[in-house]
Amino acid sequence: MRFLITGGAGFVGSHLCEELLARGDQVHVLDELSTGSMKNIRHLRDDPGFEYTIASAGDSLTVGQIMDEVDAVYDLAAAVGVRLIVDSPVNTIENNVHSTAVVLAQANRKRRPVFVASTSEVYGKSAVLPYHEDGDLLLGSTARGRWSYACGKALGEFLALAYFKEQGLPVVVGRLFNVVGPGQVGRYGMVIPTLAAQAVGGQPLTVHGDGSQQRCFCHVRDAVGAMADLMHRDDVWGQVFNIGSNEEVTIMHLAERVRAAAGSDSEIELVSYDDAFEAGFEDMARRVPDLTKIGEAIGWRPTRGLDQIVSEVVQRQREESGEPDRTVQERTGTVAQA
């Protein structure tokens, strides 16, 4: 099959490109490079099954032209990360809602199946755990800008499912839970790459709040495998699926594991949400997906645990920073002891 991937130069998008190409599919990436990067897809440019266009997914003419040449679409184009959402709420809301609306409209016109990438953020402050796809969503006040991202992605889900119900457009929604792995950057508030960069660089590891909040982290390779499997099926249309891991960890314990993996003696520093983001910022104590539905539908479960994720992210951070692997050198006696 030949796929259009909007936002394909981003972290998840670029890994999805690799997954689909490895399966023998062809890929056309559309990305304006606002949060994506050519660095993520440069190694794919010589693959005969790969093409890219630098433009916005909100440009209906460009989207429509590319859609004429493909069999199906992954809609991943979005402003992501808590930091970006808090700092640029207008851009986040307008781009996320508009681009998905354009992609769905063009897909409906061309009758192309669509995978819409959503997020665990849509569950908001719901305390009914683990989160099931049919569960209620509980968002905070519109005065709290951090909920704008969740609201925008929820609206994208509503629109996608409306196209399925009203127009018969084949659509499937995937709610991604903290997808991480090598190549992800901490620039927009992604916690594991941020902690890894701090540990490798000998800086204090910053943990927001008191560190007791619990999260589940899914390796990007597992996530894109699920995304690829879903779009090679015809019995999943009109449905929503959680994609993530249910291995929980507190952020404090996560920081300790990152520090240990990096062989770092950096301190862990608690930072209030007000200081880190904005006054009145709200966070959730736990966020855990129910994976029953996707397991029953396509037989998928994550195969890589948190230790592997942390190890790979730390190693990539070392490679990119030029720092030596202290843990290896200490074992071989090549690091001078103070």
Residues whose CB is less than 8 angstroms from the CB of residue 253 and which lie 6 or more positions away in sequence, other chains included? none
Residues whose CB is less than 8 angstroms from the CB of residue 290 and which lie 6 or more positions away in sequence, other chains included? 130, 131, 132, 133, 242, 246
Query: One of 123, 149, 163, 188 is an active-site residue; which one?
Result: 149
DSSP string spanning 138-150?
A: B---TTSTTHHHH
Cβ neighbour number for residue 160 with a 10 Å cutoff: 26
Residues whose CB is less than 8 angstroms from the CB of residue 85 and which lie 6 or more positions away in sequence, other chains included? 79, 92, 145, 146, 148, 149
Residue 292 CA: distances (Å) to CA of 15, 125, 241: 24, 21, 9
Tell me the CB-side half-sphere exposure of residue 191, using CA atoms within 13 A.
25
DSSP string spanning 15-75?
A: HHHHHHHHTT-EEEEEE--SS--HHHHGGGTT-TTEEEEES-TT-HHHHHHHHTT-SEEEE
Angle between helices 306-321 and 191-200 (to 10 degrees): 50
Distance CA 101, CA 114 (A): 12
Q: Which helix (H) or strand (E) holds 115?
A: strand 114-119
**Ramachandran angles phi, psi of 215, nearest 5°:** -140, 165
Residues whose CB is less than 8 angstroms from the CB of residue 250 and which lie 6 or more positions away in sequence, other chains included? 211, 212, 213, 214
Assess whether 123 carries a catalytic annotation: no
| Radius of gyration of the CA atoms of the chain, in A | 20
Q: Which of 303, 121, 138, 117 is nearest to 228 (CA)?
A: 117
Which residues are catalytically annotated? 149
